[in-house]
Chains A and B, each alone.
Chain A
Amino acid sequence: MATSVYLSNPVVTINSVDLTDQCTSAVVNYVLEQLETTSFGDTARKYGALTVTSLQNNSIEVELYQSYAATETEATIFGLVGITTDVVVAPASGAASATNPIYTLTGCYLESHTPISANLGELSTVTLSFAGGLLTKATS
Chain B
Amino acid sequence: MSKYLVNSDRLIWPRGTVIDTADLEHCNIDVLLAGGHISAHKPTKSVKTITEPKD
Contacts and interface: CB of A to CB of B under 8 A. Distances in A.
Contacts of B27: 15-16, 85-86
B31 A19 contact: no
Contacts of B45: none
A63 interface: no
A78 B30 CA distance: 12
B28 A76 contact: no
A70 B9 CA distance: 11
A15 B28 contact: yes
A93 B32 CA distance: 22
A30 B28 CA distance: 24
Interface of B: 7-12, 24, 26-28, 30-32, 34-37
Given A16-B11, A16-B24, A19-B10, A75 B36 contact: yes
A45 B15 CA distance: 57
Nearest to A71: B8
Interface residues of A, number: 16
Contacts of B26: 16, 86, 106
Contact of B36 (A19, A70, A85, A86): A70
B30 A17 contact: no
Contacts of A106: 26
A106 B34 CA distance: 21
Given A16-B11, A19-B10, A71 B37 contact: yes
Contacts of A80: 28, 31
